[in-house]
């Protein structure tokens, strides 16, 4: 079965064509993120305007890459939420129109489940094995879910304030590293000492599966604010001046280590509590190689296997939406499908 999937939940415009839930025939992504560097975050209105321009060319390119015609697809999948309302509307209304015109079934998809299903892509021989604990760790979410099978899952806990990716973005901005902060922090952290600063690990021993990253972010802000010797571009923001460079690398590495310690410990505890032998991770922060190696190593010691998507499939993309639709194939009437910005598990 060939599914065309459309994903426009945030700044990106993604269209993918996937066969039988795992084989990628095309996965096209256009992102307007560069344009938001100067703002330090996404401007929703501008993102949606770019998506209106990008959506048809991106879908066209996907068909060309897959070397099939629109009539040859069997179904359409679309992200209906969570996300930015203007952005979601572009994808959802386009998908509904295509489904209506081509008379093909259309499957609405929860973006958060999509991140989990990125782990099915390109893995015909070794897909995730149920039951498993999933960690969805992105710019908008940090959630732990127990998945018994494709249709039976239970939310175990999530962030009470900032998502992990959001904290990476805010600290990245504070350190003068631009937007998005995650990849930039990961890069500069490679030259820093993760033990240079002992930042808090919020809720690490709470015994529950909730997260909180706002206090950790504030600890980094307070450090910068109270360091008179650091060159600043504004009251709280560091400039990447030469004398700051090692401090920034150390701050980035220490902050990243605190986030990873919390994510690793809580995810493993969730797996142990529910007696599962597999952890499946998804979302933009799953691209972080320090998280990938620490979670994998510590889980292996306990006999728990960890799956991460390929790095380019961890961040938002259309392919994961097609995979989620294939394994949860519940088409709906195009007239009933609507954008749901606040959708959750």
Within 216-255, the residues that bind ligand KG4 by CB under 6 A are: none
3-state secondary structure of 270: helix
Which residue shows structure tokens 């509590």? 273
- The nearer residue to ligand KG4, 73 or 188, going by C-beta atoms, is 188
Q: What is the DSSP string of 237-255?
A: PBP--GGGHHHHHHHHHHH
Helix intervals (H) in the chain: 44-66, 85-102, 111-117, 164-174, 181-189, 214-225, 245-273, 289-301, 311-314, 319-327
- The nearer residue to Zn ion, 106 or 118, going by C-beta atoms, is 118
Indicate which single residue of 288, 299, 339, 340 sits in contact with ligand KG4 (rule: CB under 6 A).
Answer: 288
Neighbours of 270 (CB within 10 A): 21
- The nearer residue to ligand KG4, 4 or 112, going by C-beta atoms, is 112
Q: Which does 55 bind (CB under 5 to 8 A by kind): ligand KG4, Zn ion, none?
A: none
Q: What is the DSSP string of 28-48?
A: EEEE-GGGGGGGTS--HHHHH
Within 268-287, the residues that bind ligand KG4 by CB under 6 A are: 283-285, 287
- Least Å distance between CB 277 and ligand KG4? 26
- The nearer residue to ligand KG4, 4 or 167, going by C-beta atoms, is 167
User: Strand 106-110 to strand 132-137: parallel, antiparallel, or no bridges (unpaired)?
Assistant: unpaired
- The nearer residue to Zn ion, 95 or 136, going by C-beta atoms, is 136
Q: Tell me if 168 contacts ligand KG4 by CB under 6 A.
A: yes
- The nearer residue to ligand KG4, 159 or 288, going by C-beta atoms, is 288
Q: Tell me if 94 contacts ligand KG4 by CB under 6 A.
A: no
User: Backbone phi, then psi, for 177, in 5-degree steps?
Assistant: -100, 0
- The nearer residue to ligand KG4, 63 or 120, going by C-beta atoms, is 120
- Least Å distance between CB 305 and ligand KG4? 22
Task: Order across the sheet with 12-19: list the strands.
Answer: 23-31, 12-19, 2-7, 75-81, 106-110
- The nearer residue to ligand KG4, 75 or 112, going by C-beta atoms, is 112
Q: Which does 186 bind (CB under 5 to 8 A by kind): Zn ion, ligand KG4, none?
A: ligand KG4
DSSP 67: T
Part of the chain binding ligand KG4 (CB under 6 A), chosen from 70-78, 138-146, 195-203, 260-268: 138-146
Indicate which single residue of 81, 108, 181, 318 sits in contact with ligand KG4 (rule: CB under 6 A).
Answer: 181
- Least Å distance between CB 207 and ligand KG4? 26
- Least Å distance between CB 165 and ligand KG4? 3
3-state secondary structure of 178: coil
Q: Name every residue whose Cβ is closer than 8 Å to that of residue 275 and which is 6 or more positions away in sequence.
A: none
Q: Tell me if 318 contacts ligand KG4 by CB under 6 A.
A: no
Rounded CA Rg of the chain = 20
Tokens representing residue 152 in the block: 């039976």
- The nearer residue to Zn ion, 112 or 224, going by C-beta atoms, is 112
Which residue shows structure tokens 């991460």? 308
Q: What is the DSSP string of 296-342?
A: HHHHHHTT-EEE---HHHHSS-SHHHHHHHHHT---B-GGG----TT
- Least Å distance between CB 308 and ligand KG4? 11
User: Backbone phi, then psi, for 211, in 5-degree steps?
Assistant: -125, 160
- Least Å distance between CB 120 and ligand KG4? 17
Q: Which does 285 bind (CB under 5 to 8 A by kind): Zn ion, ligand KG4, none?
A: ligand KG4
Binding site for Zn ion (CB under 5 A): 138, 316
Q: Tell me if 7 contacts ligand KG4 by CB under 6 A.
A: no
- In the complex, the residues that contact ligand KG4 under the rule CB under 6 A are 10, 138-140, 165-166, 168-169, 180-183, 186, 283-285, 287-288, 315-316
């Amino acid at each position: 079965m060939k599914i065309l999937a459309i994903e426009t939940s945030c700044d990106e415009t993604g269209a993918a064509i996937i066969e039988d839930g795992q084989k990628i025939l095309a996965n096209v992504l256009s992102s307007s993120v560069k344009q938001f560097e100067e703002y330090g975050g996404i401007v929703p209105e501008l993102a949606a305007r770019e998506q209106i321009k990008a959506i048809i060319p991106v879908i066209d390119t996907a068909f060309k890459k897959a070397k099939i015609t629109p009539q040859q697809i069997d179904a359409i999948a679309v992200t209906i939420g969570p996300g930015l309302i203007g952005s979601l509307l572009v994808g959802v209304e386009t998908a509904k129109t295509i489904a209506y015109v081509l008379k093909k079934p259309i499957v609405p998809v929860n973006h958060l489940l999509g991140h989990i299903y990125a782990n099915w892509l390109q893995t015909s021989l070794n897909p995730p094995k149920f039951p498993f604990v999933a960690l969805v760790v992105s710019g908008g979410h940090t959630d732990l879910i127990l998945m018994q099978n494709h249709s039976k899952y239970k939310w175990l806990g999530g962030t009470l304030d900032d998502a992990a990716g959001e904290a990476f973005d805010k600290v990245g901005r504070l350190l003068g590293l631009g937007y998005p902060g995650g990849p930039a922090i990961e890069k500069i952290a490679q030259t820093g000492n993760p033990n240079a600063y002992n930042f808090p690990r919020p809720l690490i021993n709470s015994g529950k599966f909730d997260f909180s990253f706002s206090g950790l972010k504030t600890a980094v802000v307070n450090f910068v604010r109270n360091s008179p010797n650091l060159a600043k571009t504004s009251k709280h923001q560091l400039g990447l001046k030469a004398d700051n460079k090692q401090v920034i690398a150390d701050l980035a590495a220490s902050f990243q280590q605190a986030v990873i310690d919390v994510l690793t410990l809580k995810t493993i505890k969730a797996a142990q509590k529910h007696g599962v032998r597999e952890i499946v991770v998804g979302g933009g922060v799953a691209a972080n190689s320090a998280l990938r190696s620490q979670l994998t190593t510590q889980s292996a010691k306990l006999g728990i296997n960890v799956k991460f998507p390929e790095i380019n499939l961890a961040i938002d993309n259309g392919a994961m939406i097609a995979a989620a639709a294939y394994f949860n194939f519940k088409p709906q009437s195009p007239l009933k499908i609507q954008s749901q910005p606040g959708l959750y598990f």
